Amino acid sequence: MSTTLPAYDPAGADLVAPRALSRRARGADAVFVHSARLVGASVLVITGGVAIFLGWQAFPTLQRYGWSFFTESQWQPEADVIGIAAVVVGTFAVATVAMTIAFPLALTTALYISEYAPARIKPTLVSLVDLMAAVPSVIYGLWAYILIMPYAAEFAVWMDRNFGWIPIFAVRGGDADSAIPLLSRYSFSAFCAGIAVAMMVMPMACAVMRQVFSQTPPGEREAALALGATRWGVIRAVVLPFGRGGIIGGTMLGLGRALGETIAVALILAPAFDVKFRVLEQGGGTVSALIANRFGDASPTQLSALLAAGLVLFLITLVINTLAAVVVNRSRSGAGVEA
């Protein structure tokens, strides 16, 4: 698309030949545009290729078991009984525990860094939080297994004793009221695994929230301060409403990471194939941990079933991350910022 505008001579009297205007990128701009398009298209191609591969490999399993693959809880290939109902429920149980712990930590950390931290230490805090995302998941798993699990089991006993009347906190066969409770009944649970996963997803959610908070329009901040608002009043009336989309988007991105965490969960969570919503009870399973534990010695038939489970997890995380991206893009972030 091009347009022409009349150009004038230096004296400003007579019209000269019109000058053509074009939006087509040229030179270095054209190289950048085409490179960006190539990279973006390659990401879509790779993602689509992964989905097609998983779907192709999972087709024999889905054809053989049908809907029972999604409703059966047991995983017994030797008895020709395979289903992912238990591990899907366990995946959401671990992710729910993780986000329950990670969300308040991420939100308060992001608010402190963006609103309360002194300017001289703010870059250090940002770097430390970002470095938490670079720690290998096996380190978090060992940290939770060795250091956190004994204390988490004692806390689970207290929760069972005082809130066991709530189904999610009940432990079947637990002895919370005994003089010396058996802590092994409360260890290796979704609660213990969720603590490790929470430490891994917190930096990601915190980074998104902090970035959105930093884009709060200064004009709105100054207007609130001029009206006599305190610092907390500015946060409550300006920063949090402005960053609502970032809070939701960061939380959903963290949830997508929590659903797919593997090594830390495999180290902590004792395998158990039964559908249950008791997060304090020993045993459970997630889709990613199932694949990691069974992939090495799987037969071709079992491998197809594992890839079918991977396809389900892929679709779940893809939907959640897509929703997070939509929420972030539709938020107020950047709107109304003064130049």
pLDDT tens by residue, 281-334: 888 889 988 988 888 787 888 888 899 999 999 999 888 888 877 776 776 544
CA gap 114, 95 in Å, rounded: 27
Cβ density class 33-72: b for 16+ within 10 Å, e for less: eeeeeeeeeeeeeeeeeeeeebeebbeebbeebeeebeeb
Mean predicted confidence (pLDDT) in 143-158: 90
Q: Which domains does the chain have, with CATH numbers?
A: 68-329 (1.10.3720.10)
Report the DSSP pairing between strands 75-76 and 2-5. Answer: unpaired
Residues 6+ apart with CB under 8 A from 223: none
> How far is it between the farthest Cα atoms of the chain?
103
Rounded to the nearest 10°, the torsion over CA 63, 64, 65, 66 is 20
The candidate with the shortest Cα–Cα distance to 287, out of 321, 320, 255, 311, is 311
Q: What is the pTM of this model?
A: 0.82
Share of the chain above pLDDT 70, in %: 87
CA gap 261, 161 in Å, rounded: 30
Are 283 and 271 contacting, i.e. CB atoms less than 8 angstroms apart?
A: yes
CA gap 94, 101 in Å, rounded: 11
Mean predicted confidence (pLDDT) in 117-139: 89
> Mean pLDDT for the chain?
83
Res. 3: pLDDT tops 70: no
Residues 6+ apart with CB under 8 A from 119: none
CA gap 255, 201 in Å, rounded: 8
CA gap 135, 76 in Å, rounded: 35
Q: For the ranges 84-88, 105-109, 151-155, 225-229, which has the lowest average pLDDT?
A: 225-229
CA-based radius of gyration for the chain? 27
- Quick: pLDDT tens for 85-100: 999 999 999 999 999 9
Are 326 and 269 contacting, i.e. CB atoms less than 8 angstroms apart?
A: no
The two three-digit tokens of residue 198, written as one number: 């929470």
DSSP-based three-state secondary structure for 337: coil
Mean predicted confidence (pLDDT) in 109-120: 90
CA gap 76, 78 in Å, rounded: 5
Are 282 and 35 contacting, i.e. CB atoms less than 8 angstroms apart?
A: no
Res. 2: pLDDT tops 80: no
Share of the chain above pLDDT 90, in %: 19
The candidate with the shortest Cα–Cα distance to 94, out of 333, 287, 338, 312, is 287
Which H or E run contains 193?
Answer: helix 190-213
For 272-332, the DSSP string reads --S----TTSB-B--HHHHHHHHSTT--HHHHHHHHHHHHHHHHHHHHHHHHHHHHHHTS-
The candidate with the shortest Cα–Cα distance to 293, out of 90, 103, 129, 20, is 90
